[in-house]
Amino acid sequence: MPVIELTSLQQPGADVFSTLTEAQLRNRLEPDKGLFIAESPKVIRVALDAGYAPLSLLCERKHLAGDAADILARCPDIPVYTGDRELLARLTGYTLTRGVLCAMRRKPLPTVTEVCRDARRIVIINGVVDSTNIGAIFRSAAALGIDAVLLTPDSCDPLNRRAVRVSMGSVFLLPWTWIAAPLTATLHPLGFRLAAMALTDDSVPLDLPALKAEPRLAIVMGTEGDGLPHSTISEADYVVRIPMAHGVDSLNVAAASAVAFWELGRREQ
């Protein structure tokens, strides 16, 4: 295991943890060469278990024989950059939450058909750009019986560093890919009915028995501010609301998704 002591912010090989932007890591022009950063031993372990290939580690010196020891044993051939906490904080731009970062190779994304093949309940994330919300939605989806995730291209990348961290590695547990509008043109032939979460005059309550009875259901969640586009709402088979009290009109998209997944997800009985 090559352990490399960092002494400078400009040290060769460590740029993946410092100077590369999220867009550069994602590498839109050549997605098969894209990278992402997993943070904390727990999240890195989940990614390794899911088959993601590690490229290099950035680790506080004290964790080499501590929290990160089992990870280093699993990845004996990759470079490990280490140094004092203060230097690593200046290198990455923030204090490391758990002292360990891992640069990993992205996998080729599956098609929508492949993602949905064995799914009964999926979520479509439409235009959600906040990485914290993306991570929270993935975590709730994995916990509450959602089988797969589809995202419109204007949504935040699920492998964004913060989204990965907030999800606690749940982005590695569910199959996901991108989907273009119109949604029904792709999903109706696969047997899915669409349930758009929105407030309209003709929306139905979340506990409507017909929703739970659908053999294949796609729950469509909209943006943090404006909600779903009218075009998406108009093509949905159901427009669904969460009943509210005390005059509150809506929930944050992450909170609303957890409620919807609890009510409609494929939970073991």
Q: What is the pLDDT of residue 97?
A: 54
Structure tokens, 131: 């990485």
Which residue did the predictor score with more confidence, 224 or 73? 73
Which residue did the predictor score with more confidence, 210 or 84? 210
Share of the chain above pLDDT 90, in %: 62
Q: What is the pLDDT of residues 115-137, one digit of tens each?
A: 999 999 999 999 999 999 999 99
CB contact at 8 A, 236 and 195: yes
Average pLDDT, the chain: 88
Q: What is the pLDDT of residue 269?
A: 38
Q: Is the pLDDT of residue 28 over 60?
A: no
**How many degrees, rounded to 5, is the angle at CA 138 between CA 158 and CA 163?**
40
Q: What is the pLDDT of residues 158-178, one digit of tens each?
A: 999 899 999 999 999 999 999
Q: What is the pLDDT of residue 31?
A: 59
Q: What is the pLDDT of residue 30?
A: 58
Q: Is the pLDDT of residue 206 over 60?
A: yes
Burial string for 146-163 (b: 16+ CB within 10 Å, else e) reads bbbbbbbeebbbbbbbbb
Average pLDDT over residues 133-147: 96
The pTM (predicted TM-score) of the whole model is 0.90
Tokens 């989940």 sit at which residue?
A: 46
Q: What is the pLDDT of residue 13?
A: 77
